[in-house]
Structure 1
Amino acid sequence: MGRLGIDDLEALQGTHLGKADQEELLSSQTECGFVFTGEQGWPSGVVMSFIVADGHFWLTSVEGRAQVSALAEDPRVSIVVSSAGSGLPGRRMLSLRGVATVHRDADTLAWFLGEFTNRLQPADPVAWRRLLDSPNRVVVEVRPVAVAVSHDQLKIPGNGRGMEA
């Protein structure tokens, strides 16, 4: 076995994201891969914007889209968050397993749209909220049940690219 990050990338034990690093990633990033069981049992995924509140992920979609329809059959999902484009140093990744609930009520939608548009479009949340507040809009809540995988390239000697420190 060689030196991790210098000679190989085989043994990645100890390179997971700690709790504080997970929170930093989730507060810096606004997009995730949302993975669900699609047609005929095939894994499917879409890129979606999200917020985190009380430890749950909150996303939005429209009734009839594949990800919403699929949740009626199987609410188990995965969410994959990468540091790409977030401005954080290094490559970081967090993959969570969770159980999704689709909310269709006006109170949840009103709360969500306020939080979501203020976080993701702070320059003009009112205009974006007006676009999102549509008749078929739903809110998807994901309650994480486990961290599937996480990774922090900053914990790898050689920058994880084979460079001597």
Structure 2
Amino acid sequence: MTGKPVLGVDDNEDLRSARVDPRGMRELLAAQTECTFSFITEKGWPAGVVMSFLYHNDTFWLTAAADRAHARAAARDPRVTLVISNAGTALPGRRMLAVRGWATVHTDRATKDWFYPAFAGRLAPDDPASFARLLDSENRVVIEVEPVRVAVSHDSTKMAGDGRGGRL
């Protein structure tokens, strides 16, 4: 090897230049509908669950049955992290964001009335009314996550080759 190491070919240690930029973040959030919702259990352990989300007005919106561990955890301790990757989307490369945020658990009718149709339209575009009707139950909550900061991100399309040692 001569000269400066090439990220993704000769070096895979300092990935600061392979962070997701604002354009990449917009692409990822437009393409993906699933995330890992990370929270702290009552016994202090980190835990996570895969959930669908709606990204609306720079805020993440999710829903769950009120008695689920992650819904109870968000009500008890609003510090959460959402991990979003491009797995299962048509986006090239490997992209991910870990977004720290403050969760608010909503039970009010006004939030449910706008959220269920918007969420169902994004997740079940062929029959959003049926999905919205299914979601609208007495024991369901809407979880709003207001982002604090992107804690970690990665975009392998910013790396030479395939980002795993291959050459162009």
TM-score range, shorter chain: over 0.9
State the 1:135 CA deviation: 0.9
Matches within 5 A, 1:52-71: 52-71=55-74
Distance 1:3 1:39 in 2: 45
- 1:36 aligns with 39
SS in 1 for 2:151: strand
- Aligned partner of 1:67: which letter? H
Distance 1:55 1:128 in 2: 24
- 1:111 aligns with 114
State the 1:16 CA deviation: 0.6
SS in 1 for 2:43: helix
State the 1:87 CA deviation: 0.9
- 2:93 aligns with 90
- More displaced stretch, 111-120 vs 6-15: 6-15
- 1:75 aligns with 78
State the 1:72 CA deviation: 2.5
State the 1:73 CA deviation: 2.1
Distance 2:59 2:6 in 1: 38
SS in 2 for 1:108: helix
- Aligned partner of 2:73: which letter? A
State the 1:131 CA deviation: 1.1
SS in 2 for 1:101: strand
* Superposition RMSD in Å: 1.1
Distance 1:70 1:12 in 2: 32
Matched, 1:13 2:16: yes
Structure 1 length as normaliser, TM-score? 0.97
- 1:102 aligns with 105
State the 1:13 CA deviation: 1.6
Matches within 5 A, 1:44-55: 44-55=47-58
Q: Cα deviation per residue 1:25-47 (whole Å; 9 max; x = unaligned)?
A: 00100000000011311001000
What is the aligned-residue identity percentage? 53
- Aligned partner of 1:77: which letter? V
- 1:22 aligns with 25
Q: Cα deviation per residue 1:119-151 (whole Å; 9 max; x = unaligned)?
A: 110000111112111111110000000110111
- 2:151 aligns with 148
- 2:125 aligns with 122
SS in 1 for 2:144: strand
Structure 1: gaps of 5 or more residues: none
